[in-house]
Structure 1
């Protein structure tokens, strides 16, 4: 029983760690405007943070020289204690740190800096992960700024020409109802958190590089460092490299989720051979369009798949109908390989649900335990998650934005994208397993292109001259 309770405690602590970091970095921990009673995320919105369909934990590891992987439970526990502190503080209705002693203490020249719940030696201040108790934002410390304090001019340090606050103490008192206990302490220079970036794009693309440069210049202001009194900061016992790793996680997890979908499609196709193994990454390439702006796409596989498909269908028709005129065979082949036919075959196998047709947007990615702040309401007039293939859900309107999904996952997609994907999957299987694997892929799609060995030998028997002519050419 005791072991079960201990495991349950660790599971709860792991969830709290994930909630506080993802919401503290990329979302919000407090809701409500300044000057009013603000609500902590953990008071009423915890039921919105976790869903059975999207449930996994991302936990930090201890920095160790050995190959053994150990979870950093002390850091996770520290985050849990931070949540308990914020919750208790919020229940008192005052986000101030001075809960037991509200007297103001003048700062004396010592080697100790007072944070929210502890004091730290002045020589160990840099590269600490901290949480602001009045905003719920997570920062990393850079250095102490000597010759400054909460009594310093707010305009001079914050670089504001006209502010209604004379000092930092006045700012926090009037805006957050906080009375600083150590207003004479030096201010801390902090590095702000920022939105995650799409790290999956092709950075060698000149067009994208120009767009990224423009976007970075627009958001340059948000990257400025800020000054804050140390006593407003909770120290999280997590190394700063863990904080930096969180900016990689949206892109990393998106890629893993995409590979899992590709692997799921591979299992559905179910082609097993001792001499053949197709990688999930190759199937992912076959499902990725140019709109994803990544370093790979389906274009090359489409070229190969188109040729293999035409070859297989042509051979099948030639061998199956030896009496038909070549013009008639060409017409039958064109119908079998038309975009509308391939689109129908692809949608029958629900390939549209696997195709990646837009660049990854980290701002729309939400981790388990993270509250979604941006909503994209569904106006598609579809009750189910899966869109029926009715004509009312088809359009030739060029103003429609393709590949942009709503919160329910509905999106517009060009019909040719689906037919192209049929060809790219055939090309992917041909690359990995040759013609036999490509034929299996065609069979799974419902394309009649099977080559009967008995039909291959029949034209040679009926027309022996063809065999003799072929043999003579081979000798030459």
Structure 2
């Protein structure tokens, strides 16, 4: 069992790990990464071969294939195609590992001091280590039938000017720094320039202008000079071979995290920066290697990190299959369930955690209602809290080794473990799991917040629910340690009355038409409409137990309704959560009860009747047809909301615990349900989130009660501005007064921020106009000076 301390393991899937082959040939399973760019750019991507020690499951291959990554200029599509296995000698494995380590050190570190040397050891060690090969593929239209791997750049590391080349007129007639090479070795290469400590990609020897050291160099505002003069004046370098053609290239491609959900786009067609270099200031690092290959390898850390996540999810799925047999849940759902918001990726567990939280509340409430029939609502709520609170779910998640599977941090390409790079090698330890088919290794330990582990437990439940596999969700809940079932048990609460028929207590026939449901057991309807103050000798119980159950049932069926309607790329998980919170609340339920005229049927004492009457008076002159309860600036009696939940609970029990029947009956009462077009946040929630997001300080003053009215003042301090509702918001109760105060402060903030934004735009327009005018004047001056 994983410890409950701060340190939790981070699992590495066994598919990416191997041990020493002890001098024997090594078999690698090969997959062709076919990269397809859906954007215009001067550089085209090349395919890459992934060689891995274990054959990937077809589900992994199918899931990765078709994945698109958001890059600066558009979308990069990845497909994975299975190739024939290859056998490599230990020497060739070392060459492959040297090649990829050198290339990734160049791309990730951009530091020549960290490049590989001849003395570096790239052999497979005796301990488990990450082992896979990333090799350039031959160009599609030039691809030979017998080999997809382009071995020439792989076997040319480290670079040697004495190595043979394929050109007919081989001659080491181009002077580079401290050496001479054949011109063909400079056509596609990576060079280092010590005078400025930079690394460049060379992709042509002379460009289109046949430039050399004596060619003109336009330095913009600094005037015109020659390359020879520029290097002497700027870098103190006297070119001795100024007649040699300049090398045309560019800076290295930046390796970024291409899994982020929000990325800054680059204008389509924007030219890449280029540079022209005298060969004699360059030291060759890698040759030959095409610019397309280097560009393609800049995406590899993100692609492999995604593949590793899929493999971790696949191993978790196999572990679950060892304990119960769910339907074929996609590993993409499992991956989503173990991806925390801190990863900042397009898909995290938000949606699924909301689903799982709702289902867990629903199924546990149902179990407690059935098995604790003498407990009142308060006791049931306490027991539910002790089962599904974050503290408890955290312990369940740790008892089952879930923390090791969790992806919690944003991916940093510079921290990516390059296979074969022993300078940052990590010791992998085999982790024993209660599974015959799952093998993982521990890379490191890390801290994980208690809430994240609890969220992942709920998200995994939600993953099963999202595939409409409640049976698997129930099995998972039992597996982690929460004992629940869906067995139907008779409801034995002491509510049956033999003296008075239920029709004499409530108008069952009238309510049948309003609820669109006919009760088999009318006493359940009596119980659902009886407030605790309305109990009498002939009515021995009240609605509180049914309210406890109905609250959970309504929460789940409404959550599922919104998930099915709006869980797509168009709407964010946060928006989905907001839709749910707008609809599942007491004010909306109370308004629904008023519309259905349920207030006329509630059994209660005179005090509660007066509270209900006060609510009815408050909404008497308001339009209720197309609004939600919290939008109205009035008081809602809590009892009105309670009876919607208790009636839902009563229908649930009476129908044989069929939630679909509950939704079919209660949905008309809740209409119009919120839609993306009508969704507006509760002012209190909106103000809290605004202050939290922007770091504003909010203070709610203690309410003041005078002459039957409650006054509330809210103060928000921003950057030098204080917002305060003045005069204080007044209402008949504290909740309504707070709602009015929050609404007033929100309005003040939005008006002020709108004015500030307008002023900022005016200032930027004036500034840009001034800059444009200045640049035009400078351009005119340069034009006239150069003509003279």
TM band (smaller chain): 0.5 to 0.7
Distance 1:184-1:153 versus aligned 2 partners, 3 A rule: same
Instruction: Provide the residue aligned with 1:425 in structure 2.
Output: 460
CA distance in 1, matches of 2:223, 2:414: 29
Q: Does structure 2 conserve the Cα–Cα contact (< 8 Å) formed by 1:150 and 1:169?
A: no
Out of 318, 331, 345, the residue aligned to residue 267 of structure 1 is 318
Out of 212, 215, 234, the residue aligned to residue 149 of structure 1 is 212
Distance 1:420-1:463 versus aligned 2 partners, 3 A rule: same
CA distance in 2, matches of 1:29, 1:86: 22
- Greater per-residue strand proportion: 2
Distance 1:291-1:28 versus aligned 2 partners, 3 A rule: closer
The question of 1:242 aligning with 2:293 is answered yes
- Shift, 1:44, TM fit: 4.2
Distance 1:416-1:60 versus aligned 2 partners, 3 A rule: same
Instruction: Provide the residue aligned with 1:441 in structure 2.
Output: 476
Deviates more, 1:165-174 or 1:351-360: 165-174
Instruction: Provide the residue aligned with 1:139 in structure 2.
Output: 201
Instruction: Provide the residue aligned with 1:253 in structure 2.
Output: 304
Distance 1:160-1:409 versus aligned 2 partners, 3 A rule: farther
The question of 1:59 aligning with 2:135 is answered yes
Instruction: Provide the residue aligned with 1:117 in structure 2.
Output: 181
Out of 118, 121, 130, the residue aligned to residue 46 of structure 1 is 121
Distance 1:171-1:279 versus aligned 2 partners, 3 A rule: same
The question of 1:10 aligning with 2:10 is answered no
Alignment gaps of 5+ in structure 1: 33-39, 89-99, 106-114, 378-383, 387-406
Q: Does structure 1 conserve the Cα–Cα contact (< 8 Å) formed by 2:201 and 2:291?
A: no
Report Cα offsets for 1:223-279 as digits up to 9, x if no partner: 743322346447734443222111110110111111111112112222688871111
- Shift, 1:295, TM fit: 1.7
Distance 1:235-1:46 versus aligned 2 partners, 3 A rule: closer
Partner-residue secondary structure (3-state), 2:316: helix
Out of 412, 418, 427, the residue aligned to residue 367 of structure 1 is 418
TM-score by length of 1: 0.66
Q: Does structure 2 conserve the Cα–Cα contact (< 8 Å) formed by 1:144 and 1:186?
A: yes
Instruction: Provide the residue aligned with 2:156 in structure 1.
Output: 81
Out of 296, 307, 327, the residue aligned to residue 358 of structure 2 is 307
Please report the RMSD computed on the Cα atoms of aligned residues, expressed in angstroms. 4.9
The question of 1:227 aligning with 2:248 is answered no
Correspondence 1:92-103 to 2 at 5 A:
none
The question of 1:450 aligning with 2:481 is answered no
CA distance in 1, matches of 2:287, 2:458: 52
CA distance in 1, matches of 2:393, 2:117: 50
CA distance in 2, matches of 1:350, 1:446: 13
Instruction: Provide the residue aligned with 1:286 in structure 2.
Output: 337
Distance 1:170-1:82 versus aligned 2 partners, 3 A rule: farther
Instruction: Provide the residue aligned with 1:187 in structure 2.
Output: 246
Distance 1:239-1:68 versus aligned 2 partners, 3 A rule: same
User: Which structure is larger by alpha-carbon Rg, 1 or 2?
Assistant: 2
Instruction: Provide the residue aligned with 1:129 in structure 2.
Output: 188
Q: Does structure 1 conserve the Cα–Cα contact (< 8 Å) formed by 2:213 and 2:278?
A: yes
Q: Does structure 1 conserve the Cα–Cα contact (< 8 Å) formed by 2:248 and 2:274?
A: yes
CA distance in 1, matches of 2:122, 2:142: 39
Report Cα offsets for 1:31-64 as digits up to 9, x if no partner: 29xxxxxxx6224443699884211101122223
Partner-residue secondary structure (3-state), 2:334: helix
Report Cα offsets for 1:50-92 as digits up to 9, x if no partner: 884211101122223599986555x43344234151799xxxx
How many residue pairs end up in the alignment?
A: 389
- Shift, 1:120, TM fit: 4.2
Q: Does structure 2 conserve the Cα–Cα contact (< 8 Å) formed by 1:26 and 1:194?
A: no
CA distance in 1, matches of 2:305, 2:181: 37
- Shift, 1:316, TM fit: 1.7
Out of 196, 201, 226, the residue aligned to residue 260 of structure 2 is 201
Partner-residue secondary structure (3-state), 2:310: helix
Instruction: Give the structure, 1 or 2, with the largest relative contact order (CA under 8 Å, sep 6 or more).
Output: 1
TM-score by length of 2: 0.42
- Shift, 1:28, TM fit: 5.5
Instruction: Provide the residue aligned with 1:329 in structure 2.
Output: 380
CA distance in 2, matches of 1:331, 1:300: 27
CA distance in 1, matches of 2:252, 2:120: 23
Partner-residue secondary structure (3-state), 2:190: strand
- Shift, 1:330, TM fit: 2.2
Out of 6, 23, 48, the residue aligned to residue 105 of structure 2 is 23
Alignment gaps of 5+ in structure 2: 1-22, 27-86, 164-170, 432-441, 498-518, 523-653, 666-788
